[in-house]
Structure formats: structure tokens, C-alpha cells
Amino acid sequence: MKKGFMLLAMILTVVTAAAAFAAPPANTLAAIKKKGVLVAGVKDSLPPFGYVDEKTRTIVGYDIDFVRAIAKRLGVRVELKAVTSASRMPQLEEGNIDIIAATMTNTPERAKQIAFSDTYFRTGQAFITRKGMVHSLKDLAGKRIGTAKGSTSEQNVKAALPTATILSFDDYPQALLALEQGKVQAVTTDEAILAGILAKAPNRNQFEIPPFKISDEPYGLGMRKNDKQLVAFVNKTLLAMEKSGEAARIFDKWFGPRTPFGLHRTFKIVAGK
């Protein structure tokens, strides 16, 4: 019996220690400065926001440039961890990453679980379809539509097209492949993401993004609810980047007229938005 109690006590000690090790720090900003590393959850297959550069084999993109700018102002280096739409919030809450920079829309539902920075990118949800096949939203009624698991796109398209069949994939490249194979009639997510997917598609001339949207998508950098110091630092940095022109330069680098996307920057980073 005594041995049994001792074994149980040892197990509880190990479990408690493991839980304590995995728990997020009480003050993430101080912890980042102490360890000298900002761990960011990013996409690695979603140009131009986050993808693996074929030449350098490193993750690059719009989101990555923002977290690098934040880390530079903190005086620390960046560690990038690939996340999906479904895994990014659990990874943050479990303490595996310090910040989410992964095309994440700030929604009231998500804001109940995590904290968001001010909006650093704004877009709207659209569709990729075969050329000439879709002219308005009603053309997609009753059709099969692909999107990513755990995304706001998944929720928005269900509400906008209640008669459609929604097929959810692990990522958007898989959804595009389903479109190419005729398994779905459209792929939906934010227009800026679709532009990136289409620009990289070898048969992109067969597809298009019809000129209508079903939502407004303000992207925020995600942090844990109790990370008020980190949120304040990030927001201060974003506003400084807007004021100095650095935010606009990052946008032009990835979305400007000389890129395959050619989007016009119609937003500014504003405090509280």
C-alpha cells in the first residue's frame, strides 16, 4: 500500500511539473525579453502572407515582416512556428507560441478567448471559380465550395450560401486542388489570400476571382487575454510603423503594383481599430 501511495505521489509530481512547464508565462512581454526570442505562429503555405521561399527555404511574407519589425523593436530574435487556421489559437493558449501572425480575422467570438492587436490588414471574403462560370453569389447556390477548417471563411460561407455544400480542407492549396479536380465549384476565403493562391497556381489563367464579396475581414495579431503589456507594446509598434511609413512599405512589397497581386492599400493602422 505504501509503495502504491509513493508511486501515485511520483506520478502527480511529474504531471504537475509538466503542466507548470507548459503553462504560459504570467507576463509574456517580460518572458520574451528575458529569453531573447519572440515565438510567432505563422502560415507557411499561404503567399504572400506566409510561405516557404524556394531559394532560401525560409518562411517569408507580409505577416512575417510585421513580427520581425516587432521583434526588432523588442531587441530579440524571431522563431517562426507553422500553424493552421484550426491550430493557431490552441497553440497560443497552450503557451507554444507568443503571438499569432497568421491572417486571423478579429471577430467577437475569438475576442472572447484571446486578445487582438489593432487591425494591420483589411480585406473581404471572395471566391475563386473557373473563368466565366460565376457572375454573382446566387450562381453558387447549391454548389460545392471549398475552404479551410477553423476559418471565419467557413462560417461566413455557410451563412451566405445555406444551400451550398461546404467542404473544409486543412489548408487552401488543398482546396484549390479540389477546384482543379472538379470536386468543388469554388474556393472561398479572403480576397488577398485568394490573390496569393491564384498567383502561384500553374494553371491560373483558367480561374478568376469574381467581383463580389460576402464579408469584411480585419486582421489582428493574436495574443493571450492576460498579455496586456505585450498587446500595448504591439499596438504602439504598429502605430509607429504606420506613422513612419514602414507599414505601407511592407504592403507595397507584397501587394504593390509590381507584384502579381496589384492591390491598392485602402486602410491605415488606427488605434482601437
**Predicted confidence (pLDDT) per residue in 241-257, tens digit:** 999 999 999 999 999 98
Break the chain into its structural domains and give their ranges.
Answer: 25-122+218-255, 125-215
Predicted confidence (pLDDT) at residue 182 exceeds the cutoff of 70: yes
The residue type at 95: G
What is the reported pLDDT for 22?
54
Q: Cβ distance 115 to 224 under 8 Å? A: yes
Class of domain 125-215: alpha beta
pLDDT at 7: 46
Domains 25-122+218-255 and 125-215 alike in fold: yes
Nearest to 86 by CA among 72, 102, 99: 102
Task: State in words which class domain 25-122+218-255 has.
Answer: alpha beta
Does residue 119 contact residue 267 with C-beta atoms inside 8 Å? yes
Percent of the chain's residues with pLDDT above 70: 92
Model confidence over 3-20: pLDDT tens digits?
A: 544 444 444 444 444 444
Q: What angle do CA 187, 46, 122 make, to 5 degrees?
A: 80
Rg (CA), the chain: 21
Omega before 90 within 30 of 0, i.e. cis: no
Residue 29: what pLDDT? 97
Q: Which of 39, 91, 116, 114 is nearest to 70 (CA)?
A: 39
